[in-house]
């Protein structure tokens, strides 16, 4: 006994049917047997959330966000009850709680609420009773007792926040992949599972298209230094640790290659090249709640320049309409759109101190005759926009160039 507290989070695919729920229960009990205190956070079973959203949209295409949260939060409530029953069946004590019951207090931004504070009294009390505590992920409650949800992937956030508040030794995130890979194994079969990765790298990878964990929950983990272990609920193998610092980091320049095909490129041609014009375009877009990704401005010719930027394809029609209006206002030329792009990126904290990383990436592309259309860099990542049809080829080429398969 007394191995300390562990928070375990199981996603919807880990709970998609009765057999999987029973397997999750067995895994939890195996940790209890080892002497861990356990707080378990669960998502809704399988595709429940998507199905509830569809049902709501049939009734009202623009449902109230408060009522949407009321509806969606039932998904996790079903999960906690069933998982508790499955654990009882194995002869162990477990007790389930909703977000309201625990007291996961959030602001009132329905469908994307932020956690303000967590009341851990009930959880601690039941842990003292030697029970396995099961908490509904994704949901919280306002001071006014309205039910809220934390946005897509919100159960990760519940788990990390509880791990922080309860001072857990580790937060395990169970999913349907075995961990974080050097790149998507469906694209490059030689992709290697990383033993460890830093919060910063994981954040960068999440924002560049890796969908293993919700970005906000990694931010919280980073802020409070919560060790995360991303691993598969279908395997006993260990997965990938997400930590503040990774040993032997000096040697690793690039940790992974990501690819994102969900963006579109918009180009405003012949923009008058004078101070404040770029600001005007992007301020106007921001006012309308549009989040722009990469931005590239070419050198100017004849006091005119082209400005290109990328946005998520989902909002493309809205952005095009708005950008055309702005272009007219600032007396720019045509507005072009291009959905046929992909962004390939490399991520690694080591690249800060290693010159020549960008050159090596560009070289990999050049060797495969892949043209680079836009380039963007951050402290620990480099992204290139290329033709979409080369996305997989580029990923494999870069993966090989940096010898990520080892």
Residues lying near a copy of itself in the complex (CB under 8 A): 18, 21-22, 52, 55-56, 58-60, 63-64, 66-68, 70-71, 73-74, 77-78, 80-82, 84-86, 88-89, 95-96, 98, 100-101, 122, 145-147
Q: Count the Cβ atoms, other than its own, within 10 Å of residue 373.
A: 15
Q: Least distance in Å: CB of 15 to a copy of itself?
A: 11
> Within 13 Å and on the Cβ side, how many CA atoms surround 253?
17
Q: How far apart are CA 207 and CA 376, in angstroms?
A: 14
Which of 75, 256 has the CB closer to a copy of itself?
A: 75
SS (H, E, C) 141-195: ECCCCCEEECCCCHHHHHHHHHHHHCCCCEEEEEECCCCCECCCCCCCCCCCECC
Q: Least distance in Å: CB of 25 to a copy of itself?
A: 9
Which of 162, 398 has the CB closer to a copy of itself?
A: 162
Residue 379, both tokens: 């402290």
Q: Least distance in Å: CB of 82 to a copy of itself?
A: 6
Angle at which helices 357-367 and 391-401 pack, to 10 degrees?
Answer: 130
Segment (H or E) for 32? helix 18-34
Which of 9, 20 has the CB closer to a copy of itself?
A: 20
Which of 20, 193 has the CB closer to a copy of itself?
A: 20
Residue 385, both tokens: 């926009």
Which of 16, 294 has the CB closer to a copy of itself?
A: 16
Which of 60, 211 has the CB closer to a copy of itself?
A: 60
3-state helix, strand and coil shares in percent for the chain, rounded to the nearest 5: 40, 25, 35
Q: How far apart are CA 75 and CA 70, in angstroms?
A: 10
Instruction: Say which DSSP state 225 is in.
Output: T
Q: Least distance in Å: CB of 72 to a copy of itself?
A: 8
Residue 344, both tokens: 């390939």
Q: Least distance in Å: CB of 1 to a copy of itself?
A: 24
Q: How far apart are CA 94 and CA 390, in angstroms?
A: 51
Q: Least distance in Å: CB of 123 to a copy of itself?
A: 13
Q: Least distance in Å: CB of 58 to a copy of itself?
A: 5
Q: Least distance in Å: CB of 54 to a copy of itself?
A: 11
Which of 54, 389 has the CB closer to a copy of itself?
A: 54
**String of DSSP letters for 245-304:** --TTGGG-S--EEEEE-SEEEEEEEEEE-STTHHHHHHHHHHHTT-----EEEPPPBTTE
Q: Least distance in Å: CB of 151 to a copy of itself?
A: 18
Which of 25, 285 has the CB closer to a copy of itself?
A: 25
Q: Least distance in Å: CB of 233 to a copy of itself?
A: 17
Which of 2, 91 has the CB closer to a copy of itself?
A: 91
Q: Least distance in Å: CB of 93 to a copy of itself?
A: 10
Which of 68, 374 has the CB closer to a copy of itself?
A: 68
- 71 alpha-carbon distance from chain centroid: 23
Q: How far apart are CA 125 and CA 18, in angstroms?
A: 29
Which residue from 178, 190, 101 is spatially nearest to 403, judged by alpha carbons? 190
Q: How far apart are the first and last CA of the chain?
A: 40
Instruction: Say which DSSP state 108 is in.
Output: S
Between strands 256-260 and 263-272, the pairing is unpaired
Which of 119, 262 has the CB closer to a copy of itself?
A: 119
């Amino acid at each position: 006994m007394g191995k300390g507290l562990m928070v375990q989070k199981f996603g919807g695919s880990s709970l998609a049917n009765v057999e999987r729920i029973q397997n999750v229960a067995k895994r939890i009990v195996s940790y209890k047997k080892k002497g861990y205190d356990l707080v378990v956070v669960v998502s809704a079973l399988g595709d429940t959330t998507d199905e509830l959203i569809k049902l709501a949209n049939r009734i009202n295409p623009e449902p109230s966000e408060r009522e949407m949260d009321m509806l969606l939060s039932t998904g996790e409530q079903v999960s906690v009850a069933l998982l508790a029953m499955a654990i009882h069946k194995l002869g162990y004590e477990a007790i389930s709680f909703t977000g309201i019951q625990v007291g996961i207090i959030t602001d009132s931004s329905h469908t994307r609420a932020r956690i303000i504070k967590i009341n851990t009294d009930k959880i601690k009390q039941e842990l003292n009773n030697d029970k396995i505590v099961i908490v509904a992920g994704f949901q919280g409650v306002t001071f006014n007792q309205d039910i809220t949800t934390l946005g897509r992937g919100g159960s990760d956030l519940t788990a990390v926040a509880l791990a922080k508040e309860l001072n857990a030794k580790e937060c395990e995130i169970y999913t349907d992949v075995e961990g974080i890979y050097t790149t998507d194994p469906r694209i490059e079969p030689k992709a290697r599972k990383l033993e460890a990765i830093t919060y910063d790298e994981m954040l960068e990878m999440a924002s560049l298209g890796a969908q293993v964990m919700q970005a906000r929950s990694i931010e919280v983990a980073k802020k409070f230094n919560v060790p995360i272990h991303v691993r598969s609920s279908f395997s006993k193998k260990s997965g990938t640790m997400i930590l503040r610092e990774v040993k032997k980091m000096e040697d690793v320049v690039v940790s992974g290659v990501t690819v994102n095909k969900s963006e579109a490129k918009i180009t405003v041609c012949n923009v008058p090249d004078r101070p404040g014009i770029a600001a005007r375009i992007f301020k106007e877009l921001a006012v309308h709640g549009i989040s722009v990704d990469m931005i590239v401005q070419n050198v100017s010719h004849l006091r005119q320049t082209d400005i290109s930027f990328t946005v998520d394809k989902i909002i493309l029609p809205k952005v095009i309409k708005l950008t055309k209006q702005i272009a007219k206002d600032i007396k720019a030329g045509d507005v072009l759109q291009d959905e046929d792009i992909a962004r390939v990126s490399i991520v690694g904290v080591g690249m800060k101190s290693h010159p020549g990383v960008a050159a090596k990436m560009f070289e990999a592309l050049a060797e495969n005759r892949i043209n680079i259309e836009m380039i963007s860099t951050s402290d620990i990542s480099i992204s290139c926009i290329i033709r979409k049809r080369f996305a997989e080829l580029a990923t494999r080429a870069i993966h090989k160039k940096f010898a990520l398969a080892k």
